[in-house]
């Protein structure tokens, strides 16, 4: 995928090659340095493009792994004239996210200011300032914190039943299931319902249109990584990557969201905070709010939540399920735990999760070995020292979470799927697990870490729970092929997991009867 994206913009890059050479020679700035501290080691680079060629492999996290085994856990790279530092060890990642958290509290710059995707109203790309702080508080206290999540539990529970019913339908039709496709339906439907409320889904059918737009937008999201890295050099020539596609999707989303917001306003029930748009509207209307958000902020936040939460959670479900299918001992232990806690007469629910420690450990281990976001992208606001090296201000930071969570110095048998490592039977083990969580980065770390972590654990835990509770799974061959592919910033299975469900003999009572 990344290679194809590059080919699309390769001619463009070559066209600016000569002009860029002139630019570099004429306007090159002297390097910022600090006496006594060297820059991190750097592999040999090519003229003009620097180390760009190293990022164009289909698996950038694997290329970084190779480089760091040769040059060490902190590397200095250059993409044209954009400096990048890559961190790949658990101890340096820990230093970065504890000592320098404030200094790296930015995810980078907007791609196109006015776009709803990665524009200047985006929460994901907002600098650490008033808007980000206000919205983060709103997300934590009113939307994605444990108590706020309870309010919208019923919508998720309906979608979980629908997920189970869809799988059962495949059994009846004797069809195989592409796990990622079913998973994405589940996460997409659930997030849409949490944001827009069930009334919108049922009465206006807008949710279906949103779902279609979201699916179309994923390919765009995956180009974001390339666009982010090349944005600055190309901007000097007035070139904005993927501008047309971004703006076209942005305006389609904009129109749709305007209608949905207007419908919510007509009902005037936003004070009750019934769904996420109600909460945003209440903040929008609040004249005494610490920050006055606009309608554009609401729409942009909607896009961030959908794109941030849908694909990531679905990828986690697919990878974790693949590990479970490959490890029959894990499957049996999980099934045993669910049967003894939940029983056979009702479907697993999210309120069961705290009583299912092994299921929680399986989900954590799936995310450790296969983090949906294997690379964390930040920016150094100020120059600083890391690991004894000097990093100049405005350097882009790439933390390879993938490597950090497979670091031999921090994890025993790091390449093996061992959920037990997250189970504690003594206080000492509890302490060890706490220590490990500092090196556990599927959701990033520090103030810019993922605010959707609670929801993500609910999504993945309940989906895996349903698949193990209700079905046996058959695959072609002995083992699932675990080969990886990377699209943009997301770690995917190169061969999507396909398996055939066989229904267990259960006697489940459902909350709602007509879920298909």
Of 123 and 134, CB closest to ligand HEM: 123
Instruction: Identify which of residues 200 and 305 has a Cβ nearer to ligand HEM in the complex.
Output: 305
CB atoms within 10 A of CB 46: 11
- Name which position in 220, 316, 398, 468 contacts ligand HEM (CB under 6 A): 316
Dihedral (C-alpha) 388, 394, 395, 399: value to the nearest 10 degrees? 90
Least separation, in Å, of the C-beta of 126 and ligand HEM?
7
227 binds ligand HEM (CB under 6 A): no
CA–CA gap between residue 1 and residue 314 (Å, rounded): 19
Helix, strand, coil fractions of the chain, as percent rounded to 5: 55, 10, 30
The 8-class DSSP code of residue 201 comes to I
Phi-psi region of 423 (alpha: psi -120 to 50; beta: other; left: phi over 0): beta
Residue placing its CB nearer to ligand HEM in the complex, 16 or 322: 322
In the bound state with ligand HEM, the residue whose beta carbon lies nearer, of 242 and 302, is 302
- For the CB of residue 313, give the shortest distance to ligand HEM in the complex, in Å: 4
- To ligand HEM, the closest distance from the beta carbon of 144 in angstroms equals 6
Taking the least distance from each CB to ligand HEM, the nearer of 304 and 365 is: 304
361 binds ligand HEM (CB under 6 A): no
Contacts 24+ apart (CB under 8 A), 335-338: 335/468, 335/469, 338/465, 338/468, 338/469
452 touching ligand HEM, by CB under 6 A: yes
Task: Spell out, one character per residue from 174 to 213, where the chain touches ligand HEM: x when CB under 6 A holds, - when not.
Answer: -----------------x----------------------
Helices (H), ranges, 139-285: 146-151, 153-172, 179-196, 198-199, 206-235, 243-267, 276-285
Site for ligand HEM in 8-67 (CB under 6 A): none
Min dist. Cβ of residue 319 to ligand HEM (A): 10
Residue 395 sits in the site that holds ligand HEM (CB under 6 A): no
**Out of 391, 455, 463, 470, which residue is the one contacting ligand HEM (CB under 6 A)?**
455
Nearer to ligand HEM, 73 or 309 (CB): 309
Among residues 304, 337, 403, 407, which is the contact residue for ligand HEM, using CB under 6 A?
Answer: 304
What Å distances lie between residue 361 and 433, 456, 491, CA to CA?
11, 14, 21
Handedness of CA 117, 123, 127, 130 (dihedral sign): positive
Stretch that binds ligand HEM, among 80-88, 301-309, 341-349, 478-486 (CB under 6 A): 301-309
Backbone angles phi, psi at 509, to 5 degrees: -100, 130
Biggest alpha carbon distance in the chain? 76
Number of residues this chain uses to bind ligand HEM (CB under 6 A):
26
Q: How far apart are CA 55 and CA 74, in angstroms?
A: 16
In the bound complex, what is the minimum distance in angstroms from residue 450's beta carbon to ligand HEM? 3
Among the residue ranges 150-158, 311-319, 384-392, 468-476, the one whose residues contact ligand HEM (CB under 6 A) = 311-319
Tokens matching residue 58? 């289909």
- Determine the interface stretch with ligand HEM among 215-223, 249-257, 308-316, 326-334 (rule: CB under 6 A): 308-316
Distance, C-alpha 322 to centroid of its chain: 19
- Which residues have C-beta within 8 Å of that of residue 17, sequence separation ≥ 6? 48
The one segment of 110-118, 240-248, 351-359, 447-455 that binds ligand HEM by CB under 6 A: 447-455
Q: Which helix (H) or strand (E) holds 398?
A: strand 396-400
Q: What SS3 string covers 159-192?
A: HHHHHHHHHHHHHHCCCCEEHHHHHHHHHHHHHH
> Which residue's C-beta sits nearest to ligand HEM?
444
> For ligand HEM, which residue of 89, 190, 395, 445 counts as binding (CB under 6 A)?
445
CB of 123 to ligand HEM, least distance (A): 6
Task: Kindly indicate which of the ranges 14-22, 203-211, 438-446, 500-508 contains the residues binding ligand HEM, using the contact rule CB under 6 A.
Answer: 438-446
Q: Which is nearer to ligand HEM, 201 or 456 (CB)?
A: 456
Helix or strand run (H / E) with residue 307: helix 295-326
Nearest CA to 98 out of 374, 399, 365, 394 is that of: 399
CB nearer ligand HEM, residue 13 or residue 391: 391
Q: Do residues 23 and 29 touch, judged by C-beta distance below 8 A?
A: no
- 22 annotated as belonging to a binding site for a ligand: no
Task: Pick the binder of ligand HEM from 57, 449, 485, 500 (CB under 6 A).
Answer: 449
Q: How far apart, in Å, do the first and last CA atoms of the chain sit?
A: 34
Q: Interface with ligand HEM includes 372 (CB under 6 A)?
A: yes
- Asked whether the CA dihedral 465, 466, 472, 474 is positive or negative, the reply is negative
Contact flag: residue 277 with ligand HEM (CB under 6 A): no
Q: Which is nearer to ligand HEM, 338 or 376 (CB)?
A: 376
Provide the mask over 93-112, with x wherever binding to ligand HEM is found by CB under 6 A and - wherever it is not: --------------x-----
Say whether residue 119 binds ligand HEM (CB under 6 A). Answer: no
120 binds ligand HEM (CB under 6 A): no
Q: What are phi and psi of 445, to 5 degrees?
A: -160, 160
Q: Residue 152 to residues 97, 158, 197, 309: CA-CA distances in angstroms?
A: 32, 11, 9, 16
Minimum distance from CB of 372 to ligand HEM (Å)? 4
What is d(CA 190, CA 156) in angstroms, rounded to the nearest whole number?
A: 5
Residues of the shown chain interacting with ligand HEM in the complex, contacts defined by CB under 6 A: 107, 123-124, 191, 304-305, 308-309, 312-313, 316, 372-373, 376, 442-445, 448-452, 455-456, 460
> From the annotation, which residues make up the binding site?
450
> From the annotation, which residues make up the binding site for heme?
450
């Amino acid at each position: 995928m990344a290679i194809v994206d590059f080919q699309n913009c390769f001619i463009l890059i070559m066209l600016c090659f000569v002009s860029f050479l002139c630019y570099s020679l004429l306007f090159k700035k002297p390097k910022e340095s600090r006496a006594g501290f060297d820059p991190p080691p750097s592999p040999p680079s090519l003229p003009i493009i620097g180390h760009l060629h190293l990022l164009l492999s289909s698996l950038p996290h694997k290329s970084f792994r190779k480089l760091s085994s040769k040059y060490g856990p902190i590397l200095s790279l250059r993409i044209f004239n954009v400096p990048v530092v890559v961190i790949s060890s658990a101890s340096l990642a820990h230093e970065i996210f504890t000592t320098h958290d404030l200094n790296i509290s930015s995810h980078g710059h907007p791609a196109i200011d006015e776009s709803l995707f990665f524009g200047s109203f985006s929460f994901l790309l907002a600098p650490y300032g008033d808007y980000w702080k206000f919205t983060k508080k709103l997300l934590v206290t009113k939307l994605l914190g444990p108590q706020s999540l309870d309010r919208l539990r019923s919508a998720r529970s309906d979608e979980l039943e629908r997920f189970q019913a869809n799988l059962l339908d495949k059994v009846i039709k004797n069809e195989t299931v592409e796990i990622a496709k079913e998973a994405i339906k589940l996460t997409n439907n659930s997030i849409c319902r949490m944001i827009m409320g069930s009334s919108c889904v049922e009465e206006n059918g807008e949710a279906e249109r949103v779902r279609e737009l979201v699916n179309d937008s994923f390919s765009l999201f995956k180009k974001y990584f390339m666009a982010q890295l090349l944005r600055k050099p190309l901007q000097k020539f007035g070139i904005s990557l993927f501008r047309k596609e971004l703006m076209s999707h942005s305006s389609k989303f904009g129109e749709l969201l305007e209608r949905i917001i207007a419908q919510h306003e007509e009902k005037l029930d936003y004070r009750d905070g019934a769904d996420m748009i109600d909460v945003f509207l209440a903040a929008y209307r609040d004249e005494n709010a610490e920050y006055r958000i606009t309608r554009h902020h609401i729409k942009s936040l909607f896009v961030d939540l959908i794109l941030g939460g849908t694909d990531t959670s679905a990828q986690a479900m697919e990878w974790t399920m693949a590990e479970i299918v490959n490890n029959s001992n894990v499957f049996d232990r999980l099934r045993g735990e669910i049967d003894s806690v939940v029983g056979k007469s009702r479907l697993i629910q999210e309120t069961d999760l705290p009583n299912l420690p092994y299921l929680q450990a399986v989900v954590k281990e799936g995310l450790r070995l296969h983090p949906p976001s294997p690379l964390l992208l930040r920016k150094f606001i100020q120059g600083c020292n890391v690991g004894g090296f000097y990093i100049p201000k405005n350097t882009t930071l790439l933390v390879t979470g993938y490597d950090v969570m497979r670091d031999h110095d921090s994890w025993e048998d790091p390449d093996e799927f061992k959920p037990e490592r997250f189970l504690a039977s003594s206080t000492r083990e509890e302490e060890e697990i706490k220590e490990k969580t500092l090196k556990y980065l599927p959701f990033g770390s520090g103030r810019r870490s993922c605010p959707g972590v609670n929801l993500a654990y609910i999504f993945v835990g309940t989906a895996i729970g349903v698949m193990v509770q209700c079905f046996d799974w058959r695959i072609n061959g002995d083992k699932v092929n675990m080969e990886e592919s990377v699209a943009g910033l997301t770690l995917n299975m190169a061969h999507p997991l396909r398996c055939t469900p066989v229904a267990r003999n259960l006697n489940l009572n459902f909350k709602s009867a007509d879920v298909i």
